[in-house]
Amino acid sequence: MKLRSAMGALTALGMVMTASTAFADAHSSGTLNSVAGNGSVQCGVSQGLPGFSNKDDAGNWTGIDVDFCRAIAAAVFGDANSVKFTPLSAKERFTALSSGEVDVLSRNTTWTMTRDTQLGLNFAGVNYYDGQGMMVPSSLGVSAATELDGASICTNTGTTTELNITDFFRSNNMSFELVAFEKADEVVAAYDSGRCDVYTTDKSGIAAQRLKLTDPNAHTILPETISKEPLGPVVRQGDDQWFNVVRWTLNCMINAEEMGVTSKNVTSMLNSDNPGIKRLLGTEGTFGENLGISNGWCANIIEQVGNYGETYEANVGADTPLKLARDGSVNALWTQGGLMYAPPIR
Amino acid sequence: MAYNTEPDRHGGDDGGLAALIYNPRARGLLFQTILLLAVIGFFAWILDNTISNLAAQNKKSGFGFLEESSGFQILTTLGTYLIESRPGVATYFDIFWIGVVNTLAVAVVGIILATILGFMIGIFRLSSNIILRGFATVYVELLRNIPLLLQILFFYIVVLRILPGKREPGYTLFNGAFGLNIEGLFAPYPVVREGIGMVLMAFIGALFLAWAVAWIAKKRQEATGRQFPSFWVGLALIIAIPFTVFTMVGEPMNLEYPRFLSAGDELPDGRTVSRIKAGYDIELGGMVIVPEFLALLLALSLYTASFIAEIVRAGILAVAGGQTEAAKALGMSNGQNLRLVVIPQALRVIIPPLTSQYLNLTKNSSLAVAIAYPDIVSVFAGTALNQVGQEIEMIFMMMMVYLVISLVTSAFMNWFNDRMRLVER
Ligand SMILES: N[C@@H](CCC(=O)N[C@@H](CS)C(=O)NCC(=O)O)C(=O)O
């Protein structure tokens, strides 16, 4: 009796201690292991940005950022559906990532030096090169951003947007009032009701949010681009293996496009003699194993999600409501004069 | 105590370790110690885990960030009037205080409004007038049962939709002293000059005088039974004395009215007003209360008033009916009965739950972020946190703010409650 309870207490204490070491391990390294253990990737996306991450009428998540989450799941599990989405506001996103609530953030997030060095984040690449723009009601008759002295401006809180707009107005010696909301929908509602003269965010974001206005055609996007906003997927610092998985998921999609491998032809491409394609699709070498996943990782991504160009055109391209034409833009492949360039798989 | 009732089955003859384990006191102590160690171990583990995770993620810690300057503009609010807020100049510590001031501003004004409104509705609930009673019932049932966040968003959007646009003077009062449009409520801004200190001193002196008059009048009433209108006399003193001093020292304060500019107007520096710049310009005078504050204030006070109304109703009902009958028998009017007999007794029931409503209102003000009002959660634990990334330190500071506000509110209400307690003679 006496001994058993004493032993019980000691065992409990011991269990707490072992659990502690186990937890510490799971958190600081081995995201890939914990993802594999959970059976799904927990992916942080935005709360509703058409073309990037947005729920369609049937309640399914769609968008280029969502497709990237699916691609990670396809790489890790061979199943693009083994992914769960956590919608996050701009303000919440980094805390959610560093606390381990999500495994990766794929949410129109700008790669900046502060975020990279001070916030404990690692950017795995760029999946959309963007810049900040401004939209005004056409009725105001403004044609350049330098005419905006005294304007009131609506935007999202916790973003680079707030900093850029402040810099822009300060350096042009203009006064302004900044009204910063947490949720994108509230920014749109406030701008739509006339609270602000200007709506500012990433240009892709403007193209998307404009669709939510009562009369999208009554608004003009000003020509100026006031910042560089390289948007890309983000992971926690300190876990190189997981960082590699996410980074090479992106590189796989870009390389596949460059080599002409698409979701339509990937099955036939598996028989290709081209050594580059063989390495890409895992019929030669152990590139997947070196990442800690299967050698067919990239073939799975392309088959189930598509290459970079395919996800671009399907979600934000010229034929979508966003109408962000890719030809001749910075988001074209480097072979087409754009910036999309991935290191080789070899 | 309980240990001693347990029979000591083995006595002391076993000796050594066994005896110690069979001794209920020793055994109790042992388990307490183990538990304590486990708890300490648990917290040590959390701390250690946190530190090592932060290190693994390469994150900074400590409070050094408070001295760094911030790079974002903040909405014009009480906080930005009182504290340095210029981007590039204001530090994160300034941002923290701006958040604190803004939280306090909406909480204090909200508490005052909610109390006044709550008492009125609560009394209406018991009115014999069916319209008043019906209105109060509908009010309470409606507002108590709709989630506060929805109400805040609703008021905000409604306020925005109703108000005239930025480039119209909107609703004006007193010849342009006040103006209300979608940019907010524009009001005169007091500009003070030398001599205002005298007026302030006169005001404090008048307060003291009024208090002395009231005290003497009370003593006299206790001694002789003769009444004295000490409230009105006091009020007259508090208004008249500072006003006289104000005119004597040459009116050391004037009100700067808000200026409305139309496109094409000429500015003092010769520039003409552009289409964008048209509207009220507080750089030229006056001040603004932004619609975000107004909507939040409205929603918080209307919502909390519905709870206070129920507390007030319960408090009044808790006063025995015989008290009112006795007051009537003494010839008191309805108003006198309410003011002198019922409310003082009801307050004893009302104050404790009222305190928790005050605390609720303060904490609910953190929903401000939904409508862009820069309170502590929105501007410090939101915008600034996203630039600095030190969650633990910043959330800790924010929690301390709420804790201190709550403790001070409770302390004040406890003191008030003590004063209202039945003094038994
Ligand atoms: N790229 C910027 C801004 C990102 C951002 O959050 N933009 C807003 C406006 S487009 C947004 O995505 N809102 C969507 C949402 O919150 O669901 C950053 O990383 O700071």
End-to-end CA distance of chain A: 65
Exposed, middle or buried: residue B180 (CB in 10 Å: 0-12, 13-18, 19+)? Answer: buried
Exposed, middle or buried: residue A136 (CB in 10 Å: 0-12, 13-18, 19+)? Answer: buried
DSSP one-letter string for B70-117: P------SHHHHHS---TTTSBHHHHHHHHHHHHHHHHHHHHHHHHHH
| Shortest distance, CA A48 to any CA of chain B (angstroms) | 16
**Mutate: best of B37, B53, B77, partner A, most A CBs <10 A:** B53
**A315: amino acid identity, one letter:** N
Which residue in chain B is spatially nearest to A161 when comparing CA positions? Answer: B72
Q: Are A234 and A123 in contact (CB under 8 A)?
A: yes
Ligand 1 pocket, residue A63 CB under 6 Å: no
Whether A79 and A149 map to the same domain: the answer is no
| Shortest distance, CA B288 to any CA of chain A (angstroms) | 12
In order along its 346 residues, chain A shows pLDDT tens digits of 344 444 444 444 444 444 434 344 444 458 999 999 899 999 999 998 999 999 988 889 999 999 999 999 999 999 999 999 999 999 889 989 988 899 999 999 999 998 998 888 999 999 999 999 999 999 888 889 988 988 999 999 989 999 999 999 999 989 899 999 988 889 999 999 889 999 999 999 999 999 899 999 999 999 999 999 999 999 999 899 999 999 999 999 999 999 999 999 999 999 989 999 999 999 888 999 999 999 999 999 999 999 999 999 999 999 999 899 999 899 999 999 999 999 999 8
Whether A142 and A221 map to the same domain: the answer is yes
Query: Could you tell me which of A144, A63, A165, A145 has the C-alpha nearest to residue A106?
Result: A63
Residue numbers in A near B385 (CB within 8 A):
91, 95, 158
pLDDT value for A15:
44
Mean pLDDT of B234-258: 81
Q: Is the ipTM of this complex over 0.90?
A: no
Query: Could you tell me which of A73, A72, A46, A71 has the C-alpha nearest to residue A61?
Result: A46
Residue B308's pLDDT band (cuts 50, 70, 90): very high
**Least confident piece of the model among A23-37, B103-117, B127-141, B317-331:** A23-37
**Domain range enclosing A216:** 132-227
Q: Is residue A22 part of a domain?
A: no
Whether A141 and A81 map to the same domain: the answer is no
Render pLDDT for B183-234 as a digit per residue (tens, 0 to 9). Answer: 888 888 887 777 778 888 888 988 898 898 888 888 888 888 787 787 888 8
Residue of A105, A161, A196, A212 to mutate, ligand 1, most atoms within 8 A of C-beta: A161
What's the maximum distance between 2 C-alpha atoms anywhere in chain B? 106
Q: Are B107 and B361 in contact (CB under 8 A)?
A: yes
Whether A155 and A113 map to the same domain: the answer is no
Q: How many CB atoms lie within 10 A of CB B85?
A: 23
Q: Is residue A346 part of a domain?
A: no
Q: What is the CATH number of the domain that holds A204?
A: 3.40.190.10
**Mutate: best of B72, B292, B388, partner A, most A CBs <10 A:** B72
Residue numbers in B near A94 (CB within 8 A):
386, 389
* Closest in B57, B157, B166 to A237, CB measured: B57
Residue numbers in A near B58 (CB within 8 A):
117, 120, 237-238
**B7: amino acid identity, one letter:** P
* Residue B238 φ/ψ, nearest 5 degrees: -65, -30
Q: Is residue A17 part of a domain?
A: no
DSSP one-letter string for B319-388: S-HHHHHHHHHTT--HHHIIIIIIHHHHHHHHHHHHHHHHHHHHHHGGGGGGGT---IIIIIIIIIHHHH
Q: Is residue A160 part of a domain?
A: yes
Whether A96 and A236 map to the same domain: the answer is yes
Whether A317 and A169 map to the same domain: the answer is no
Q: Are B360 and B105 in contact (CB under 8 A)?
A: no
Q: Is residue A10 part of a domain?
A: no
Whether A52 and A136 map to the same domain: the answer is no
Could you tell me if A265 lies within 8 Å of chain B, comparing CB atoms? no
d(CA B177, CA B189): 10
Q: How many domains does chain A have?
A: 2
pLDDT value for B14:
53
d(CA B367, CA B381): 12
Last residue of a domain, one of A199, A227, A255: A227
Query: Could you tell me which of B96, B156, B394 has the C-alpha nearest to residue A154?
Result: B156
SS3 B187: strand
pLDDT value for B15:
60
Residue numbers in B near A157 (CB within 8 A):
369, 372, 378, 382-383, 386
Is pLDDT at B3 greater than 70 in this prediction?
no
Q: Is residue A345 part of a domain?
A: no
CA dihedral B216, B217, B218, B221 (to 10 degrees): 120
**B385 and A193 in contact by Cβ < 8 A?**
no
Long-range contact pairs involving A65-70 (C-beta distance under 8 Å, separation at least 24): A65/A106, A65/A107, A65/A108, A65/A127, A66/A106, A67/A305, A67/A306, A67/A311, A67/A314, A67/A315, A68/A106, A68/A127, A68/A233, A68/A249, A68/A250, A68/A253, A68/A311, A69/A41, A69/A43, A69/A45, A69/A104, A69/A106, A70/A304, A70/A305
End-to-end CA distance of chain B: 39
Which residues, including other chains, have CB under 8 Å from residue B183's CB and lie 6 or more apart? Answer: A152, A177, B166, B279, B280, B288, B290, B291
Q: How far is the CA of A158 from the centre of ligand 1 (A)?
A: 9
Whether A158 and A100 map to the same domain: the answer is no
* Closest in B45, B277, B383 to A20, CB measured: B45
CA dihedral A273, A275, A280, A281 (to 10 degrees): 30
**B166 and A16 in contact by Cβ < 8 A?**
no
Ligand 1 pocket, residue A106 CB under 6 Å: no
d(CA A150, CA B253): 29
Q: How far is the CA of A109 from the centre of ligand 1 (A)?
A: 7
The interface residues of chain A toward chain B in range 80-139, judged by CB-CB distance below 8 A, are 90-91, 94-95, 98-99, 114-115, 117-121
Whether A222 and A250 map to the same domain: the answer is no
Whether A174 and A114 map to the same domain: the answer is no
Whether A166 and A223 map to the same domain: the answer is yes
| Helix locations, B126-192, DSSP H | 130-144, 148-162
Q: Is residue A25 part of a domain?
A: no
Whether A177 and A138 map to the same domain: the answer is yes
pLDDT value for B346:
87
Last residue of a domain, one of A178, A208, A227: A227
d(CA B170, CA A240): 59
Q: Are B161 and B349 in contact (CB under 8 A)?
A: no
Q: How far is the CA of B71 from the centre of ligand 1 (A)?
A: 18
Residue numbers in B near A197 (CB within 8 A):
166, 276
Ligand 1 pocket, residue A108 CB under 6 Å: yes
The interface residues of chain B toward chain A in range 234-293, judged by CB-CB distance below 8 A, are 274-277, 279, 281, 283, 291-292
Higher pLDDT, B67 or B250: B67
Residue of A111, A113, A201, A213 to mutate, ligand 1, most atoms within 8 A of C-beta: A201
d(CA A213, CA A215): 5
Ligand 1 pocket, residue A156 CB under 6 Å: yes
SS3 B264: coil
**A13 and B34 in contact by Cβ < 8 A?**
yes
Residue numbers in B near A91 (CB within 8 A):
369, 382-383, 385-386
Residue numbers in A near B34 (CB within 8 A):
9-10, 13
Please name the residue that has the structure tokens 């993802």. A35
d(CA B322, CA B324): 5
Please name the residue that has the structure tokens 């932004």. B290
Exposed, middle or buried: residue B343 (CB in 10 Å: 0-12, 13-18, 19+)? Answer: middle
d(CA A125, CA A123): 6
Element housing A86 (H / E)? strand A83-87
d(CA B292, CA A193): 13
Q: Is residue A199 part of a domain?
A: yes
